[in-house]
Amino acid sequence: MIDIYTDGACIGNPGPGGWGAIVMTDGDVAHGRRLSGGEPRTTNNRMEMTAAIRGLEATPKGATVTVHSDSEYVVNTMTRNWKRNANQDLWPRLDALVKERKVAWRWVRGHNGHALNEEADRLAVAEAKKFMGKGRPLLDQAGPAREGDERMSTEREMTHLDEHGGAPPPSDPPSPAAPRLTHLDEHGRAAMVDVGGKPDTERVAIASGVVSMRPETLNLVLRGQMEKGDVFTVARLAGIAAAKRTWDLIPLAHQVPLSHVGVDFAPDAAGRVVITGTAHTTAKTGVEMEALAAVSVAALAIYDMCKAVDRGMTIGEVRLLEKRGGTRGDYKAPRST
């Protein structure tokens, strides 16, 4: 039995990207093959697909394989027949590999502490960062050689050949089109985006933030000794309520029918509480703001519950970790270093 853990990363989406795959037999993590590569300009979805393709290429025909991926785009397309509106060059490659093997697909939640998913993510991010310099990728900084490096290097070199196979003059990578603020009209005035023409699709957003307090304050929280009551229960309810009322708090946000909102807390010994907010919907627009609102208001509720004993608490690091679904594709934040 072969297991493949895959992940893709992209800085900018589109932008420099990387993929990572861990291929192991019978659960032997120590002797599993670590494969990785990247491209100077790509998308997160393409890197997720490439990771699965390259992982399967490393297995023999006829093998029984389980591919573990945190990309709903890949897993649901292969198992639930999601429409293949993009990346038409990659799907046939993936289909051909699957046809020659007995492949099962397993979705794993990203940024959730799964050791092999986290390792695959680190491989992908490291590859993406190699292309952050101008001009050719920094191949001389690739680090220790891995199985398959020669082939990956060849692929990278080919991205610099012109249509006749010759090397073009050295130049910087093409610049992407200038981004446009969708909440401004042609006159620069604030406007609500019209999403009426978009299809209803399944969408997920995950955000996080951190409340830092004195360790002794956190001990009171964990022992349930705060005068106002159960801090995390109140904060969770506050976060859920905020997600449901995001359209009331953010002037140009749409009113989205939420199917699920989750708010979770992970305290540590240093007095930090990491808050994770998750929002799900099937709608015409995403729920990034709902996830961010849940985290932000949950953090404020923690401060309110604890301020009597620790007014020096800080709230920070609020950011979007991941979003899935929609016409713009998936997004995953680069791992903090």
SS (H, E, C) 217-278: HHHHHHCCCCCCCCHHHHHHHHHHHHHHCHHHHCCCCCCCCEEEEEEEEEECCCCEEEEEEE
- Taken in order 321, 323, 328, 331, the sign of the CA dihedral is positive
Q: Are 50 and 37 in contact (CB under 8 A)?
A: yes
Answer whether residue 164 shows pLDDT above 50: no
pLDDT surpasses 70 at 97: yes
For residue 300, pLDDT over 80 is answered with yes
Span 3-29, average pLDDT: 89
Domain positions in the chain are: 2-158, 201-332
Given this model, what pLDDT does residue 184 score? 56
pLDDT reported for residue 235: 96
d(CA 289, CA 255): 11
Intrachain domains 2-158 and 201-332 with the same fold: no
Take residue 242 and report the two structure tokens written for it. 């905020």
Q: Are 84 and 77 in contact (CB under 8 A)?
A: yes
pLDDT at 304 > cutoff 90:
yes
- CATH entry, 201-332, from 3.30.70.640, 3.10.25.10, 3.40.190.10, 3.40.50.2000: 3.30.70.640
At the topology level, CATH places domain 2-158 in Nucleotidyltransferase; domain 5 (3.30.420)
Strands of the 331-332 sheet, one edge to the other: 258-267, 272-283, 201-212, 314-324, 331-332
Over range 8-36, report the average pLDDT: 88
Listed in sequence order, the residues at least 6 apart from 253 whose beta carbon sits closer than 8 Å to its beta carbon are: 246, 247, 289
In this prediction, residues 72-79 reach a mean pLDDT of 89
Query: Confidence class of residue 178 from pLDDT cuts 50, 70 and 90?
Result: very low
Q: DSSP letter at 141?
A: G
Residue 175 has pLDDT above 70, yes or no: no
The model's confidence at residue 34, banded by pLDDT at 50, 70 and 90, is very high
Within 8 A by CB and 6+ apart from 297, the residues are 238, 239, 241, 242
> How many whole angstroms separate alpha carbon 71 and alpha carbon 10?
13
Checking if the pLDDT of 269 tops 70, the result is: yes
Averaged over 310-326, what is the pLDDT? 93
Q: Is 304 a catalytic residue?
A: yes
What is the mean pLDDT of the segment spanning 191-206? 78
Q: Is 323 exposed, middle or buried (0-12, 13-18, 19+ CB in 10 A)?
A: buried
Residue 167 has pLDDT above 50, yes or no: no
Tell me how crowded residue 252 is: count the other CB atoms within 10 A of its CB: 12
Position 166 pLDDT exceeds 50: no
Residues 297-321, mean pLDDT to the nearest whole number:
95
Mapping DSSP onto H, E and C, the string for 200-214 reads CEEEEEEEEEEEECC
Return the pLDDT at 144: 32
pLDDT score recorded for residue 150? 33
Residue in 149, 264, 304, 310 annotated catalytic: 304
> Residue 180: which of 170, 188, 172 has the closest Cα?
188
Mean pLDDT of the chain: 82
Region at 87 (left for phi over 0; alpha for psi -120 to 50; beta for the rest) = left
Sorting pLDDT into bands at 50, 70 and 90, what band is 171?
Answer: very low
